[in-house]
Structures are given as C-alpha cells and as structure tokens.
Structure 1
Amino acid sequence: MRVLIVVDMLNDFVDERGALFCGPAARRIIPFVAQKIAEFRQQGQPIIYLRDSHSPDDREFEAFPPHCVRGSWGGEIIPELAPAPGDIIIEKTRFSGFFRTPLEKELERLKAQELHFVGVCTNICVMDTVGDARNRDYPVVVYRDGVADFDQEAHEFALKRMERIYRARVI
C-alpha cells in the first residue's frame, strides 16, 4: 500500500500572510500537491496530513518566530488542499512527523509499503521526516515538483541528501 504524506501545507507556511511564509515556491507547488492528493484518493490510497501544531510557549519559538499555534488560523491546512473524510491528520511539534506522534502506528495499521512525500519545507520537516521513514526501512518517493523551501540552495541540498544519503527516489 502506498501512502501519500502531505507535510505542513499550512497557512503559516503557504499563505503570504503566514508567520513563516515559505515564499512563492510554496504557492507554486499547490496545484501539483492537489493533483497527487486527487490521484491517491482516486486509487483508494491513504493520505496523511502532517500538521505542525505548537503550544503558545513551545521551545521551538526560541529558534523560529511563533507559528502554527494549536487552534490558530496559521496552523490550519490551506483550503485548496482541504482533507476529505477518511484522510488522516497527525499533529506534530517537531520537524520530524515521527517524533512523539502516532505516525508510525498509523503506517503499521495501514500496512504501508511505500511512502510518497509532498510539502514544505524541503530542508526541514520534509527531509527530517523522510530520514526517519528511511530509518524505519520504508521505501520513499519525494516529488520534486511537490516540495518547496524558502531557501532554494537548502532545497537543492535537501533533495540531494534525501536521494544520495537516505536513498529516497526523488522524481
């Protein structure tokens, strides 16, 4: 079973008014991500949305401005990619979607055989989650047209690292 993992396509990262807007590159991937979501739905393959979700005093705010505070507009999935009934939403408080979340148990429950990734930011939450997926021996596909970053150089580095070090298929 293939599983699509949509990483942090949230207002604070993807909307121009967001606290940590990832720039025009984040806006440009929306149609591709929507297409992948539609494709997986049509094929009856599961979709998991990872959603950054912080408490107002989260220690991550020592490194980044406050963003994706639980219950805020910024922490909501952008309307263009709204989840459908049956989609899974997993809140996370750190870069990796596996850190202190039920993601691993959900993947086991779904009998996931291959994980496909889209979302932001390529060099932070996407790369860290992909690394943790590979450390759990999941085959991984990262869609080059479905990931974006506020830093193009870091984006390219992350794609190379995921392909060369983590052995993800970047297509």
Structure 2
Amino acid sequence: MESVRNRYLFLEELKSAFEKMLDELNSKPSLHIKDLNPKNTVLIIIDMVNGFCKEGSLYSSRIKSLIENTVETMKLCRENNIPVIAFADSHTDKSPELKAYPPHCIKGSLESEIIDEIKEVGGYTLIEKNSTNGFLEDKFQQWLKENSQITNMIVIGDCTDICIEQFSNCAKAYYNIKDIESRIIVPMDTVETYDLGTHKADLLNIVASFIMAGNGVELIKTIE
C-alpha cells in the first residue's frame, strides 16, 4: 500500500509541476530579429530532411508541421544577413546509432536530403552528421574556428529532446568554457519531437526545454 500511496503522491506532484512549467513556457517572450547582430549570429537548422519530414521509418507529422515556420525563419535570417547552416542526418551503414533507432537517413539516400522547401530558399551551408549531435561534426568545428566572431546561435528543427537539446547544450558549454558570453536561442515554435509508444512528444518537449533552460539556453516564443 505504501508504494501505491507514494506513486499517487508522486503523480500528483508531477501534475502540479508540469502545470507551472507550461505556464512558464507560455509566458516566454518573442524576439525581434533586429535585436541580433548579424555579424555574430548564425541560424542553425537541424535535420529538416526528407527522412523525418516526409517519409521513412522515422517520419513524423509533428516534424512535418515545422516546415512552414522553418522556412519563414530562414527567410527572415537571410533578409537580415544572418548566415544559415543546415545539418542533415546522413548515416553510414555502419553507424552504431542504427542499433538504437530503425535504419534511417542513410548517406546518399533521398531520406538524408534537406527538404525541397529549404533548398528553394537556398544560401545555406550544408553539414552532414552521422550522430544525433551535429555540434561534434568535424566540418562544424572547422566552421567555428573560421568564424570565431559568432557568439549567438538560433537553433531550430528536430528533435527537441535529442538533436536540438544535445546541440544547444554543447554550444552553450563551448562558449562557457572559454568565458565567452553567448546566446543560444531556441524559438519554441520551430522545434518539435515525435510520438511513439512511451515517447510522448508533448511531455518530452517540456522536459527538454527545461533541461536546456537550466543550462543557460534561451527559450523564446518565436522570432519576428
């Protein structure tokens, strides 16, 4: 009986906590693009590829719903001379990640390609990634070295609790270790995750958002 009672109390406490968390997220402000200096800002688009947005074993309609806001944010940044990097999940057939997830986004496949809507806007640097954490890719590390003036990153795409969280927390830690003030910005209307079994998107969007915020990542409602 004790374990049943404790479980009930635990779930009741969680309900109260999540209500407060939702209220806090809903109160986040928007950010105007003009408040960012284009000379030290970059837009990071993560995994808006066919294999998540349009087809394949890891396709999600929730990810597909990001397309319009992603394109609008990309256009806004392009209009304000903010450079854009687009990461694309692109695995070798030997990738250990394929043991954790169904086969997806194999290098050279249609799934691994950036969606046409982003291609049509153009003007971005493409970086393929062979793991969930694009920040660790050699090509991106080289880009950082060549663009040391960058201290602000707008991070959008999918998935909130996996690739977005890992990239954003790594980026914040990267600047912190160098004693460099930075803004790692995640607009909540341009990130999403998927529903599958106990992987509940609404729950994990909240949890991942608060993990990022706890590490100094800046959550905002949207970029205008």
> TM exceeds 0.5?
yes
Larger Rg: 2
Tell me whether 1:161 sits opposite 2:214 in the alignment.
no
User: How far apart are residue 24 of structure 1 and its match?
Assistant: 2.3
User: How far apart are residue 83 of structure 1 and its match?
Assistant: 6.4
Residue 170 of structure 2 corresponds to which residue in structure 1? 132
TM-score, structure 2 as length reference? 0.71
**How many pairs does the alignment contain?**
168
Residue 8 of structure 1 corresponds to which residue in structure 2? 47
**% same residue:** 28
Q: CA deviation digits over 1:100-155, x for unaligned, max 9?
A: 42213213323212000110011000100001101112420001000010022111
Letter in 1 for 2:53: V
Residue 37 of structure 1 corresponds to which residue in structure 2? 74
Large movers: runs of 4+ above 6 Å: none
Task: Kindly indicate which of the two structures has a greater share of residues assigned to strand.
Answer: 1
Letter in 2 for 1:139: R
CA contact (8 A) 1:92 1:101 kept: no
CA contact (8 A) 2:71 2:121 kept: no
Consecutive unaligned residues of structure 2, counting only runs of 5 or more, are 1-39, 176-181, 195-200
Instruction: Quote the RMSD (CA, aligned, Å).
Output: 1.5
Q: CA deviation digits over 1:39-61, x for unaligned, max 9?
A: 11111111001111101221111
CA contact (8 A) 1:10 1:74 kept: yes
CA contact (8 A) 1:49 1:88 kept: yes
The CA distance in 2 between the partners of 1:86 and 1:61, in whole Å, is 31
CA contact (8 A) 1:5 1:48 kept: yes
Residue 53 of structure 1 corresponds to which residue in structure 2? 90
Residue 143 of structure 1 corresponds to which residue in structure 2? 187
The CA distance in 1 between the partners of 2:159 and 2:205, in whole Å, is 8
Task: Kindly indicate which of the two structures has a greater share of residues assigned to helix.
Answer: 2
Residue 113 of structure 1 corresponds to which residue in structure 2? 151
User: How far apart are residue 82 of structure 1 and its match?
Assistant: 1.3
User: How far apart are residue 84 of structure 1 and its match?
Assistant: 5.3
Consecutive unaligned residues of structure 1, counting only runs of 5 or more, are none
Q: CA deviation digits over 1:61-100, x for unaligned, max 9?
A: 1110111100000001111111655411111111111224
The CA distance in 2 between the partners of 1:67 and 1:76, in whole Å, is 12
Tell me whether 1:123 sits opposite 2:152 in the alignment.
no
Letter in 1 for 2:58: L
CA contact (8 A) 1:90 1:101 kept: no
